[in-house]
Chain A
Amino acid sequence: QQPVQSPQAVILREGEDAVINCSSSKALYSVHWYRQKHGEAPVFLMILLKGGEQKGHEKISASFNEKKQQSSLYLTASQLSYSGTYFCGTGPSGNTGKLIFGQGTTLQVKP
């Protein structure tokens, strides 16, 4: 079952913060986050595993709540380069390249 992302879209000014949520009705082993800019391929940001939390790069971090089967992506002090569509991909089991992606959250950062 496809995870649900919220919000669907968000517009920010440079320097503002944003949170993107990803919820699943199924138990999760892992949550992957990707960013896709228009006309480009999705780019891996970070992965969160059951039983652990892993921070990514720049000013982007994430959390994984196993009980709620939910992950949140935190973007702090947004930069213009953060604009794009963010996807969460959920892995129902370990050691597999199969991901089920959410519908995406479009983030636009304005000057």
Chain B
Amino acid sequence: KAGVTQTPRYLIKTRGQQVTLSCSPISGHRSVSWYQQTPGQGLQFLFEYFSETQRNKGNFPGRFSGRQFSNSRSEMNVSTLELGDSALYLCASSGGRNYEQYFGPGTRLTVT
């Protein structure tokens, strides 16, 4: 099976702009979770989507949003970008009974 794919892999934006990141899960997986990874804060949970519904949400401001489509592909949107949003954004898909997660390669977002 093909793994989790994320596009784009690298992105440079300026403060105040918005950005949309995409994630395609492993075929058959219905759960997609998003994480932000930074050197200072580590891996932080953003949200999880399951069957097009947000099932869990982390402690991030409303500028961070997401959605999931009927084919389980997911997008994450960040509006009004701030310098502190610079990070590696990882998505992970789950399909097993115990929700082991398989991560994509990530999108490296740099905000200048």
Contacts and interface: CB of A to CB of B under 8 A. Distances in A.
Asked if A and B are interacting partners, one says yes
Interface of A: 2, 30, 32, 34, 40-44, 47, 49, 87, 89, 91, 94-104
Contact of B56 (A43, A94, A98, A103): A98
B106 A101 contact: no
Choose among A47, A49, A91, A97 the residue with the greatest number of B CB atoms under 10 Å from its CB. Answer: A97
B105 A44 contact: no
A97 B42 contact: no
Contacts of B92: 97
A96 B100 contact: no
Contacts of A2: 42
Contacts, number: 64
Contacts of A101: 35, 42-45
Choose among A32, A41, A43 the residue with the greatest number of B CB atoms under 10 Å from its CB. Answer: A41
Given A41-B90, A41-B106, A100 B45 contact: yes
Interface residues of B, number: 25
Given A89-B101, A98-B45, A100-B45, 16 more contacts: A32-B100, A32-B101, A41-B90, A41-B103, A44-B103, A91-B99, A95-B99, A96-B48, A96-B55, A97-B33, A97-B56, A98-B33, A98-B55, A98-B56, A101-B42, A104-B43
16 contacts: A2-B42, A41-B104, A47-B100, A49-B98, A87-B42, A89-B43, A96-B48, A96-B56, A97-B50, A97-B56, A97-B94, A98-B45, A98-B58, A101-B42, A102-B42, A104-B42
Interface in B78-98: 90, 92, 94, 98
Interface in B16-66: 31-33, 35, 42-45, 48, 50, 55-56, 58
A104 B83 CA distance: 24
A97 B55 contact: yes
A42 B103 contact: yes
Given A97-B48, A97-B50, A44 B101 contact: yes
Choose among B48, B55, B58, B100 the residue with the greatest number of A CB atoms under 10 Å from its CB. Answer: B100
